[in-house]
Structure 1
Amino acid sequence: MDKTLLKGLLVLEAMANQTGESVSIQALASQLGLTKSNAHRTLQTLAHADYVVRDKVSGNYRTTLKLFELGAMQLARLDVRRMALPAMRQLAERTAETVHLSVIDGDTVIYIDKIDSPQPVRAYSTIGGRAPAWCVATGKALLAFQSSEYLDVYLRELNAYTPITITDRAALKTELAKVARFGYAINRGEWRETVGGVASPIFNALGAAVAAIGISGPLERLSQKRMKAFTPDVLAAGADISRAMGYRHPYFGVLA
């Protein structure tokens, strides 16, 4: 969201909280220092994204719960590292591969925590490091649960990093639909040619995918057969963390 839209949204929320009523276009325009037509365009953009709604009687605007949900998601990101650590340790012990905990930021994922594999040859990464979301397992696990608008905004260009990177948007959306159905994503060497992984999303109490947990390692060891064998462990780790975050819905059969 650009700065003008964000400012408009926050000002509208503050005005509504102060008066307890919906806000007119003219009042918002005055607060923002915009013309009425520019304020109207700002509100229309926010309404299209479901951040605000127009009162059919008065014609004024108010914010929806989506702003609250965004705040809750940011708080969840702060909590997820603490909540995830026991499951990360268990997953690391069961698989002996590097375990990553990631969050999404635009078209990239950020590694917010990790446990390195004890094996001498392992996947290289750093806490705070980034990876293209459409190329790695934790990224695809998170993209699968973003809105179509999110994908349209952030995945306009899919650069190739290896010969098998998915660069076609239709093909990526097909794969993400499978991830959403089965609950896990696989990287077959799409960012680094010799490194693969499997990951599952983590949901908060509102049902939003706020993070992902996954394992990664060299493909010569973490073969397709081994990834399939470890997938139930990855799903169980995602379910355990989601439950700790307050998620109470069926989790791809694990929490049902």
Structure 2
Amino acid sequence: MSKVYSRTDIIDKRQRSQTLVRGLKILELIAGGKSDLSIRELAEEVDLSKSVVHRLISTLEGERYVQKNSGKPGYRLGTKLWWLGCAAVQGLEIKEVARPHLEDLALKTNELVVLAVLDGREVVYLDKVDCPQAVRAYIPIGGRAPAYCISTGKVILAYRRDDEVMKITSSMKKFTSNTVIRMESFKRHLAEIRRRGYSVNFGEWHEDVGGVASAIRDGKGYVVAAIGVTVPIHRLTKINIDRLSRLAMPAAAAVSEELGYGGSQKGASIG
């Protein structure tokens, strides 16, 4: 049943949209080189009242999207925007670099191959290569999954600090009988992933789907993504796990090398 919105709801939505657009215009203005303008001058540039611009700037500053210049008027872009920009560029770079290796891995495994990154408590699938088999797994590009119960998510978490893992997995729930939700067991599981260099999903999110994944590192050795091979659970035999891991690890290593990493896929430092 569709929801009926009142006139007040519609007005509130419009006001929130206007606020967002106004804030973005101020950010674009500062990014365009006008970082020495006072609140009054900013207000004139964006054709808004001084009080509205002051409120917007205060919000942006509080969220670290802008910073007040020291010793002179105006505002500069903040560290939060720098982080977002780096994340966007990095995501595009990884996708472009990884694509031929995804295609090669899909050809060798004859299975669905995915590229995933961590976003909060979930992984997001940046790219994939489907497999031609009649019975196959399906994952949409842009799709999301709980990081703690799929192979790509677990191999990324294996190289995160304990406090970050605790935060991400603080509300784990059991999706299937194979989902690991006890923290001590999960930590041992991550240690095993680091030891062998790949992770396995034994139907821990959806009981009929499993997979194998290996981590991708950037030039500083930080795990930034993962390549995974996703299969129907009946094809996830011990022999096939060995075969898929032997193929996935070199693929991830090749992407890591192109991103500037020159170390081992196993037991790298946690950061």
Q: Structure 2 length normalisation: TM-score?
A: 0.68
Could you tell me how far apart the structure 1 residues matched to 2:228 and 2:235 are?
16
Change (3 A) 1:108 1:226: same
Shift in alpha-carbon separation, 1:70–1:209, aligned structure 2, 3 A = farther
Letter in 2 for 1:99: V
Question: What residue number does 1:205 align with?
Answer: 219
Q: Is residue 173 from structure 1 mapped to residue 187 from structure 2 by the alignment?
A: yes
Q: State the shift of 1:206 in Å.
A: 2.1
Give the RMSD, CA atoms, in angstroms: 2.6
Which residue of structure 2 aligns with residue 235 of structure 1?
A: 249
Residues 185 and 7 (structure 1), Cα distance of their counterparts in 2 relative to 1, 3 Å cut? farther
How far the C-alpha of 1:73 sits from its partner, in A, is 4.5
Give the Å deviation of 1:70.
7.5
Change (3 A) 1:252 1:103: same
Answer whether contact 1:199 1:212 (CA < 8 A) is retained.
yes
Q: Over residues 158-208 of structure 1, what are the superposed CA-to-partner deviations in whole Å (9 max), with x where a residue is unaligned?
A: 111111111111111111111122221000110111111100011111222
8 Å Cα contact 1:73-1:210 kept in structure 2:
no
Q: How far does residue 69 in structure 1 lie from its aligned partner after superposition? A: 7.4
The whole-number CA distance in structure 2 between the counterparts of 1:72 and 1:149 is 23
Letter in 1 for 2:97: M
What is the alpha-carbon distance in structure 1 between the residues aligned to residue 247 and residue 60 of structure 2? 42
What displacement does 1:149 show? 2.1
TM-score norm. by structure 1 comes to 0.72
Q: Identity, % of aligned pairs?
A: 39
Q: 1:249 to 1:96 in 2, by over 3 A?
A: same
The aligned residue for residue 130 of structure 1 is: 144
Q: Deviations over 1:21-70 (max 9, x none)?
A: xxxxxxxxxx9xxxxxxxxxxxxxxxxxxxxxxxxxxxxxxx9x999777
Q: Structure 1 counterpart of 2:253, which letter?
A: A
Q: Letter of the aligned partner of 1:246 in structure 2?
A: G
Q: CA–CA distance in 2 between the matches of 1:252 and 1:72?
A: 26
Give the corresponding residue for 2:260. 246
CA deviations over 1:202-253 (Å, ceiling 9, x no partner): 1111222111001011121232220112211100010011111111223339
User: Partner of 1:227: helix, strand, or coil?
Assistant: helix
Residue 157 of structure 1, CA deviation: 1.2
| Residue ranges of structure 2 left out of the alignment (5+ in a row) | 1-58
The 8 Å contact of residues 69 and 206 in structure 1, kept in 2 or not, is answered as no
**Given the alignment, which residue of 104, 116, 133 partners 2:118?**
104
Checking the alignment, whether the CA contact within 8 Å between 1:200 and 1:238 is kept in structure 2 is: yes
Q: Structure 1 pair 105/168, CA: closer, same or farther in 2 (3 Å)?
A: same
- Which letter does structure 1 place at the counterpart of 2:249? L
2:153 — aligned with what?
139
Matches within 5 A, 1:9-158: 9=64, 11=66, 14=67, 18-19=69-70, 72-158=86-172
Cα distance, 1:142–1:6 mapped onto 2, change above 3 Å = farther
Counterpart of 1:189, as a letter, is G
Is residue 73–residue 208 contact of structure 1 (8 Å, CA) maintained in 2?
no
Q: 1:233 to 1:214 in 2, by over 3 A?
A: same
Structure 1: give runs of 5+ residues left out of the alignment.
21-30, 32-62
Kindly tell me: are residues 106 and 203 of structure 1, through their superposed partners in 2, closer, same or farther at Cα, counting changes over 3 Å? same
- Code of the residue aligned with 1:209 in structure 2: it is V
Q: Secondary structure at the match of 1:75?
A: helix
**Matches of 2:145 and 2:115 in 1, distance apart?**
12
User: Contact (CA 8 Å) 1:89, 1:115: kept in 2 or not?
Assistant: yes
1:162 aligns with 2:171: no
The range that moved more, 84-93 or 146-155, is: 146-155
Greater radius of gyration (CA): 2
